[in-house]
Amino acid sequence: MTEHLRGLYAITDSELLGADRLLSWVDAALAGGARLVQYRDKTADVERRREEACQLLRLCDYYGARLIINDDLPLAAELNVGLHLGRDDGSLREARQALGDQAIIGATCHASLDFAEQAVEEGASYVAFGRFFQSVTKPGAPAATPVLLEQGRRAFAVPIVAIGGITLHNAPQLRIAGADMLAVVHGLFGANSPSEVERRARLFSEMYQTI
């Protein structure tokens, strides 16, 4: 499992990527080296969500990457994939029990080492800190600073994910501060073509081969 928890973590956004773009933009991110894909769809259309998640799972399988579902434990359990939970998205312990030992389960920790400690205790596979920069996708997310990544590295054995406003320009400082994964929405998918998404994904991924 841990070999997937290093490098680029591509997160979809239902407002940014309509149904016409979702698969080809994610395909490009995977072709560029993304190791995890999070399906983050905030709509209530259960059937479409299930269908899109199945299609994304097939793509992830093809590229040897792993799929994570945002917020929705029943869907993650149905597809036997990973799950990301925020502070108000339900119990990590229950999710771990439902999905089993091998599932990748991530937890939002904002800028709090205490939240991270609790998440690790409750069975999180990785802890996510952020937002590190101004985010187009989630402008109201609480702010964090890169020193938190250094502290998190020292305190926890699980991989550390950085999120929030990450671009090719500002990512290296997070990589250097200790982020195992860079979780990116707009800085990856806010592009006009799949070839541009693939180019960005390749450059994010190369940060984990060269530093």
Ligand X SMILES: Cc1nc(C(=O)O)sc1CCOP(=O)(O)O
| Residue 21 within binding range of ligand X, rule CB under 6 A | no
| Residue 12 within binding range of ligand LCLJCK34, rule CB under 6 A | no
Considering only the stretches 41-49, 114-122, 182-190, 191-199, report the one whose residues sit in contact with ligand X under the rule CB under 6 A: 182-190
Residues 104-133, one symbol each (x = binds ligand LCLJCK34 by CB under 6 A, - = not), give --x-x-------------------x-----
Which of residues 108, 125, 159, 161 is near ligand X by CB under 6 A?
108
| Residue 135 within binding range of ligand X, rule CB under 6 A | yes
| Cβ-based neighbour number of residue 191 at 10 Å | 20
What is the CA angle 29-32-35, rounded to 5?
70
136 is in an annotated binding site: yes
Q: Report which residue type is found at 51.
A: E
Backbone angles phi, psi at 180, to 5 degrees: -75, -30
Per-residue burial over 197-208, b if 16 or more Cβ lie within 10 Å, else e, is bbebbbebbebb
Which of residues 71, 72, 180, 198 is near ligand LCLJCK34 by CB under 6 A?
71
The tokens for 178 are 């200790």
The tokens for 121 are 């205790």
Residue 125 neighbours by CB under 8 Å, 6+ apart: 1, 5, 82, 103, 104, 105, 106, 158, 159
Considering only the stretches 19-27, 81-89, 171-179, 188-196, report the one whose residues sit in contact with ligand LCLJCK34 under the rule CB under 6 A: 81-89
| Residue 86 within binding range of Mg ion, rule CB under 5 A | yes
45 is in an annotated binding site: no
| Residue 52 within binding range of Mg ion, rule CB under 5 A | no
Nearer to Mg ion, 86 or 146 (CB): 86
Residue 181 neighbours by CB under 8 Å, 6+ apart: 5, 6, 7, 8, 9, 35, 36, 126, 159, 160, 161, 162
Q: Which residues are annotated as a binding site?
A: 38-42, 70-71, 89, 108, 135-138, 165
Question: Contact positions toward ligand LCLJCK34, by CB under 6 A?
Answer: 11, 38, 40, 70-71, 84, 86, 89, 106, 108, 128, 161, 163, 183
